């Protein structure tokens, strides 16, 4: 009877394993109360599981390294933008830092914090598609065609990154980082909750870094002046809760280095 019971339990454990559910039941079946044949099969299955788990761990480490290397390679493209636009140099890294800090303050899950950080770092990758006339237009009025280029850079950024499946929702954050709560943003005119939280975070921190960064034609504003503008935009362009959380974060922990 014990042998029959062992067979049924072994079959149950094997079915669970083959369906992708790793179970400790297989280890229990190696105990002396079971038939030796059941013990032997259970031990063989347990050894196989250990080896599979070790291979899965190594594969996951390899995939994680490939993902890091890919993001680092793309980040180097963002750095290359600095050769055409001095303002862009360092902007992505600071936005990534601010976005991570705000996401952590909101107590978002660690994997979501990392997605938001990556999206912040890469949010302006689409600017690589700007023509020279946009990069050289610092002190001249923008033509309609140039404004059209600028409004398309979130879409270009998404298109550059779209084959990197591991980025997941971060692609949408890049695409929507210039959308505004009142629907007046671009490129799609999204409004309210239709704008993902990650993109709303990027919008707040992107505004702040843009306002506090020196440019050839404009000196960066003080933190206090930038905070005042963020509050003016809260509820219309920006998420008021995020604005206040971000201001508190910077007041307590300082600006990005």
CATH architecture entry for 82-253 = Orthogonal Bundle (1.10)
The pLDDT confidence band at residue 15, using thresholds 50, 70 and 90, is low
Domain residue extents for the chain: 2-51, 82-253
| CA atoms of 33 and 22, how far apart (whole Å) | 23
For 199-221, the pLDDT digits (tens) are: 999 999 999 999 998 776 678 89
Q: What is the mean pLDDT of residues 131-147?
A: 67
Above 60 in pLDDT, residue 234? yes
With beta carbons less than 8 A apart as the criterion, state whether 118 and 167 touch. Answer: yes
Indicate if the pLDDT at residue 138 is higher than 90: no
Which residue, 149, 236, 235, 143, is CA-closest to 187?
149
Residue pair 174/229 in contact by the 8 Å Cβ criterion: no
What is the C-alpha to C-alpha distance for residues 103 and 189, in angstroms, rounded to an integer? 24
Question: Which pLDDT score, from 0 to 100, does residue 39 have?
Answer: 72
pLDDT band at 1 (very low <50, low <70, confident <90, very high): very low
Whether 168 has a pLDDT exceeding 80, the answer reads yes
pTM value? 0.71
CA distance 173 to 203: 9
Note the pLDDT tens digit of each residue in 64-87.
776 676 676 666 666 666 555 655
Q: How far is CA 27 from the centre of its chain?
A: 39
Counting residues of the chain whose pLDDT is more than 70, the rounded percentage is: 66
Helix (H) / strand (E) containing 58:
helix 36-81
């Amino acid at each position: 009877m014990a042998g029959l019971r062992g067979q049924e339990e072994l079959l149950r454990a094997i079915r669970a394993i083959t369906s992708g559910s790793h179970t400790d039941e297989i280890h229990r079946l190696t105990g002396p109360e079971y038939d030796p044949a059941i013990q032997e099969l259970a031990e063989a299955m347990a050894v196989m599981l250990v080896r599979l788990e070790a291979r899965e761990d190594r594969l996951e480490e390899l995939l994680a390294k490939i993902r890091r290397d890919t993001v680092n390679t793309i980040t180097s493209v963002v750095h290359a933008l600095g050769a055409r636009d001095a303002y862009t140099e360092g902007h992505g890294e600071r936005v990534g830092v601010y976005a991570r800090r705000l996401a952590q303050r909101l107590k978002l899950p660690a994997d979501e914090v990392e997605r938001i950080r990556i999206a912040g770092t890469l949010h302006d990758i689409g600017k690589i598609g700007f023509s020279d006339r946009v990069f050289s237009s610092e002190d001249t009025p923008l033509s309609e065609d140039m404004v059209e280029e600028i409004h398309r850079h979130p879409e270009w950024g998404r298109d550059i990154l779209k084959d990197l499946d591991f980025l997941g929702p971060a692609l949408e954050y890049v695409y929507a980082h210039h959308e505004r709560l009142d629907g007046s943003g671009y490129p799609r005119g999204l409004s309210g909750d239709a704008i993902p939280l990650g993109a709303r975070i990027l919008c707040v921190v992107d505004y702040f870094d843009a306002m506090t960064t020196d440019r050839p034609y404009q000196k960066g504003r003080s933190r206090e002046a930038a905070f005042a503008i963020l509050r003016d935009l809260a509820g219309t362009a920006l998420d008021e809760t995020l604005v206040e959380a971000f201001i508190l974060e910077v007041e307590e922990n300082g600006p990005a280095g």
